[in-house]
Amino acid sequence: MTPASENRTPAQRMLRWGLPVLVIGLGLLLVAEGYRLPLTQAYAGIGPGFLVLVIGLALLLLGAIIAIQVARGVAFEPEETEGADVTAPTSWSGLGIAAAAIILPIGLIGGVGFPVAGGISYALVTRAYGSRSLLIDLLIGLVVASVTWFLFSKLGVQLGPYFSLLGAR
Amino acid sequence: MGVFEALMQGFGVALQPMNLLWALVGCGLGTAVGVLPGIGPALTITLLMPVTVSLSPTAAFIIFSGVFYGAMYGGSTTSILINTPGESGSMITALEGNKMAKRGRGAAALATAAIGSFVAGTIGTALLTVAAPAISEIAFIFGPAEYFALAILAFTSVSVVLGASMVRGLLSLFIGLALAVMGTDNQTGAARLVFGVPELLDGVGITIVLVAMFAVGEILFVASRLSKEPQQIINVSGPIAMTREDWQRSWKPWLRGAAIGFPIGVMPAGGSEIPTLLSYALERRLSKHPEEFGHGAIEGVAGPEAANNAAVAGVMVPLLTLGLPTSATAAVMLAAFQNYGLTPGPTLFTTNTELVWGIIASLFIGNFMLLVLNLPMARVWVKLLAIPKPHLYAGILIFSLVGVWGLSQSPVDMMLLAGLGLLGYMFRCHSIPIAPALIGLILGPMAELQLRRALAIGQGDPLTLVSSPVAAALLLAALALLSLPLMRAMRSR
């Protein structure tokens, strides 16, 4: 189950450094922000920057420990999840299409309204999960998103107009 | 007012026809999400929050409690019939229960799981009834220093206990704390980690973080490593019942499971994984048929299932009495309390008696409903798994978009959803537990507020934090928890 680290391609070995780099970057961001804010305050002793600084330093420390672990070859295996085969190699196309389904609505949902944007995202997710009938999925997605829009609007959740053309709210 | 009268008053609330209906809705939803992959009780409650704003808090929490309890029942059904635990507390059930089902004893496994869950859940709720008011009395002596120490203990224990390693648990916690400090500082009005984006001045919404980390992270992760193997659902023939021998072999594990599960659930970072493991180990040692373990021993289903449900009742104790969540679902419920402007804690028992006792009474009722819903209908719930996976996960995304877009129709929220969803994907790729991040996010502001209050009272002297014996003991316990894995590592060298 555990793939031996020597079986990894150079790209996979590079990817292993993603986590420590991200954590250290986040730590630096918080440390900088902590120093920008007042660290102390009259009476209470600590100001708004104090905790930000402490969290930043903790993240730097943890990032350093994880970097050492990665260098030593400690396995960071994915966790078992229902419906996922953690021993399978990462399917970048599956991940990419699913990510598109999540990133597209950022611009789309305000532009064309919830049902259309939701329907498109729906079809993308079904595609990422191996469905090959894109048109039918798109149709199902539009129906599901429309019904959801209608029901939740009835329940008092504000989801915007049913259909809007770029900016026309 | 005595506990008994208070509870009777609670039943008066919970037995109102509308509230019974809400309990049924919650139990049904909970069982369904327990059966389905990709969606758990924490996410369900998050997505229900915007819908329930128009309901009274009592009705909302009756639904939430039903979801919380129901997910445990649904999880055990799928563990037994297809060997995929719907939630982490049912891992052990999958071990023995699935073997039982393969040997044609699926009906007995389902029965002992459901009846054991009912027995232990009822015992756990009864213990909650007695313990909660008592603990809430003690909590009245808690000042800022004690609350701060309690939060630190919860932080450390959640990070140390959950997940593959302490480093990853702490990483999750500090990422949650970093998200918690974003936005306007309550005390000074200073903008923290806002980067000039006005939408971030209110901080990152708990709903966005939850939906992103649980739903979006899961959708991305499963899409990237889709299992090609079709699921094998084991057919169960005959009525779901137990033989005389099954009863004899089950009742003691049920009681022992309840005895293990409840106290561990009460402790900070109890959760439901540890009690199920402990119960399994105990039953294996005490069993007259140790050779059956690993091949479908009924004790190995009865004990852990009971422990699991008693632990869920236990988790409600610190949540209701101290406002201290010790699991992801409890953290979400705390957030829901905050949404209603309620502060769980000792005062809740005196100011909102109807709400608190209504919730507790509905736990008794919900447990009974779940037994009725699950014992004869286990086969019906499994039919939910016929939903094709592409459409199941696409549907989860639609509900996630409703949950986030419905907040304020803000593109910034959608960006946060995507960004934090990718973070949730990374968490899964590296086996980083999500619960510590949630607890950091939800308890972080409380911890900071109490720390500042305590220091203000002590005029800035940090020793004030350890000047009371309770606070000192809690901090010492946190320190001991942190040093435990280190000492173990030293010894093994």
pLDDT tens across B140-155, in order? 888 899 999 999 998 9
B459 touches chain A (CB under 8 A): yes
Instruction: Decide: helix, strand or coil at residue B302.
Output: helix
In total, chain B counts a number of residues equal to 493
pLDDT of residue B163: 63
Q: Decide if B219 contacts A98 (C-beta within 8 A).
A: yes
Taking contacts as CB-CB distances below 8 angstroms, the residues of chain A near B54 are: 155-156
Q: Decide if B198 contacts A96 (C-beta within 8 A).
A: no
pLDDT of B322 above 90: no
The span from the CA of B440 to the CA of A118, in Å, is 31
From A26, A7, A5, select the one nearest A69 (Cα to Cα). A5
Helices (H), B182-231: 206-210, 217-224
pLDDT of residue A3: 44
pLDDT digits (tens, 9 = 90+) for B466-489: 888 989 999 998 998 888 777 777
Kindly tell me the sign of the dihedral angle through the C-alpha atoms of B261, B262, B266, B267: negative
Type of residue numbered B341: G
Q: Which residues pair with B330 in a beta bridge?
A: none
Q: Which helix (H) or strand (E) holds B190?
A: none
C-beta atoms of A159 and B223 within 8 A: no
Q: Decide if B174 contacts A23 (C-beta within 8 A).
A: no
pLDDT of residue B493: 57
Residue ranges of E strands in B154-266: 183-184, 191-192
- Which burial class, exposed, middle or buried, applies to B36 when counting CB atoms under 10 A from its CB (0-12, 13-18, 19+)? buried
pLDDT of B430 above 70: yes
Which of B84, B174, B422, B451 to mutate to probe the A interface, most A CBs <10 Å? B174
Q: Within 10 Å of residue B462's Cβ, how many Cβ atoms?
A: 12
- Which burial class, exposed, middle or buried, applies to B72 when counting CB atoms under 10 A from its CB (0-12, 13-18, 19+)? buried
pLDDT digits (tens, 9 = 90+) for B248-277: 999 999 999 999 999 988 887 656 778 888
pLDDT digits (tens, 9 = 90+) for A109-151: 988 999 999 999 999 999 999 999 999 999 999 999 999 999 9
pLDDT of residue B392: 92
Which residues, including other chains, have CB under 8 Å from residue A150's CB and lie 6 or more apart?
none
pLDDT of residue B46: 87
For residue B258, give Cα distances in angstroms to A12, A16, B187, B303, B308.
46, 42, 44, 8, 8
pLDDT of residue B227: 79
In total, chain A counts a number of residues equal to 169
Q: Decide if B200 contacts B408 (C-beta within 8 A).
A: no
pLDDT of B97 above 80: yes
pLDDT of B454 above 60: yes
pTM to 2 decimal places: 0.90
Q: Which residues pair with B184 in a beta bridge?
A: B191
pLDDT of A13 above 80: no
pLDDT of residue A5: 45
C-beta atoms of A140 and B391 within 8 A: yes
C-beta atoms of A122 and B50 within 8 A: no
Q: How many angstroms away from the CA of B331 is the closest CA of chain A?
A: 21
**What is the tally of helices (H) and strands (E) in chain A?**
6, 2
Mean pLDDT of B44-71: 88
Q: Within 10 Å of residue B287's Cβ, how many Cβ atoms?
A: 18
For residue A84, give Cα distances in angstroms to A91, B2, B91, B228, B389.
11, 51, 16, 9, 11
From B230, B197, B131, B164, select the one nearest B419 (Cα to Cα). B197
C-beta atoms of A102 and B220 within 8 A: yes
Within the 194-233 window of chain B, which residues sit less than 8 Å (CB to CB) from chain A? 216, 218-229
For residue B275, give Cα distances in angstroms to B169, B203, B266, B333.
19, 36, 11, 22
Nearest to B409 among A18, A128, A158 (CB): A158
Strands B191-192 and B183-184 come out as: antiparallel
The span from the CA of B293 to the CA of B295, in Å, is 5
For residue B308, give Cα distances in angstroms to B49, B236, B237, B329, B419.
25, 24, 26, 14, 34
Mean pLDDT of B378-402: 90
Mean pLDDT of B87-115: 83
Q: Within 10 Å of residue B193's Cβ, how many Cβ atoms?
A: 20
3-state secondary structure B180-207: HHCEECCCCCCEECCCCCHHHHHCCCHH
Most confident residue range from A147-156, B95-104, B172-181, B300-309 = B172-181
Name the band, by pLDDT with cuts 50, 70 and 90, for residue A2. very low
Q: How many angstroms away from the CA of B342 is the closest CA of chain A?
A: 22
Q: How many angstroms away from the CA of A118 is the closest CA of chain B?
A: 6
* Average pLDDT in chain B: 87
Q: Decide if B374 contacts B77 (C-beta within 8 A).
A: yes
Q: What is the DSSP code (8-state) at residue B226?
A: B
pLDDT of residue B232: 73
Residue ranges of E strands in B154-279: 183-184, 191-192
pLDDT of A1 above 50: no
Q: What angle do CA B75, B80, B81 make, to 5 degrees?
A: 100
Q: What is the DSSP code (8-state) at residue A41?
A: E
Instruction: Decide: helix, strand or coil at residue B12.
Output: helix
From B196, B314, B319, select the one nearest B261 (Cα to Cα). B314
Which of A129, A137, A142 to mutate to probe the B interface, most B CBs <10 Å? A129
**Pair of tokens at residue A113:** 């309204």
C-beta atoms of B177 and A22 within 8 A: no
Nearest chain B residue (CA) to A149: B402
C-beta atoms of B409 and A47 within 8 A: no
Rounded to the nearest 10°, the torsion over CA B249, B252, B255, B259 is -120
The span from the CA of A15 to the CA of A92, in Å, is 13
**Pair of tokens at residue B180:** 């918690």
* Average pLDDT in chain A: 86
Q: Decide if A114 contacts A145 (C-beta within 8 A).
A: yes
pLDDT of residue A6: 46
Q: What angle do CA B202, B206, B211 make, to 5 degrees?
A: 130
pLDDT of residue B492: 67
Which residues, including other chains, have CB under 8 Å from residue B354's CB and lie 6 or more apart?
B9, B10, B13, B58
B121 Cα distance to chain centroid: 14
Within the 150-189 window of chain B, which residues sit less than 8 Å (CB to CB) from chain A? 164, 167, 170-171, 174-175, 177-178, 181, 185, 187-188
Name the band, by pLDDT with cuts 50, 70 and 90, for residue A77. confident
